[in-house]
Amino acid sequence: MDKEHKGVDSLLLSDLVEVWETNSLTLRTIEHLTMFSIAIVLASIIGIFLGLFLYSRPKIAHPTLNLLNLVETIPDIPLLVLLLPIFGLGSGPTIVASVLYSLLPITRNTYTGLKEVDLKYVDIARAMGLSEKDILFKVRIPLSLPMIVGGLRIALVFTMGVVTLGGLIAAGGLGAALIAGIQLYKINTILVAGLWTGLLAVIFDGLAGIVEKRLQRRYGIW
Q: Which residues bind another protein (CB under 8 A)?
A: 120-121, 123-131, 134, 138-139, 142-143, 145, 218-220, 222
Nearest residue (CB) to another protein, 80 versus 125: 125
Q: What Å distances lie between residue 81 and 89, 161, 164, 198, 208, CA to CA?
A: 9, 16, 15, 24, 30
Question: What is the Cα Rg of the chain in Å?
Answer: 22
Residue 213 CB, nearest approach to another protein (Å): 15
User: For residues 48 and 108, what is the distance between their CA atoms, to the nearest angstrom?
Assistant: 9
Q: Which helix (H) or strand (E) holds 123?
A: helix 119-128
Residue 138 CB, nearest approach to another protein (Å): 7
Nearest residue (CB) to another protein, 5 versus 133: 133
Residue 12 CB, nearest approach to another protein (Å): 48
Nearest residue (CB) to another protein, 53 versus 219: 219
DSSP 6: S
List the one residue out of 101, 221, 80 whose CA is nearest residue 156.
101
Nearest residue (CB) to another protein, 48 versus 176: 48
Nearest residue (CB) to another protein, 7 versus 129: 129
Residue 219 CB, nearest approach to another protein (Å): 4
Q: Which residues contact 139 (CB under 8 A, 6 or more apart)?
A: 117, 121, 122, 125, 130
User: For residues 39 and 96, what is the distance between their CA atoms, to the nearest angstrom?
Assistant: 7
Residue 145 CB, nearest approach to another protein (Å): 8
Does residue 107 contact residue 51 with C-beta atoms inside 8 Å? Answer: yes
- Using DSSP, state whether 23 is helix, strand or coil: coil
List the one residue out of 177, 191, 179, 213 whose CA is nearest residue 31.
177
Does residue 31 contact residue 172 with C-beta atoms inside 8 Å? Answer: yes
Nearest residue (CB) to another protein, 128 versus 184: 128
Residue 118 CB, nearest approach to another protein (Å): 8
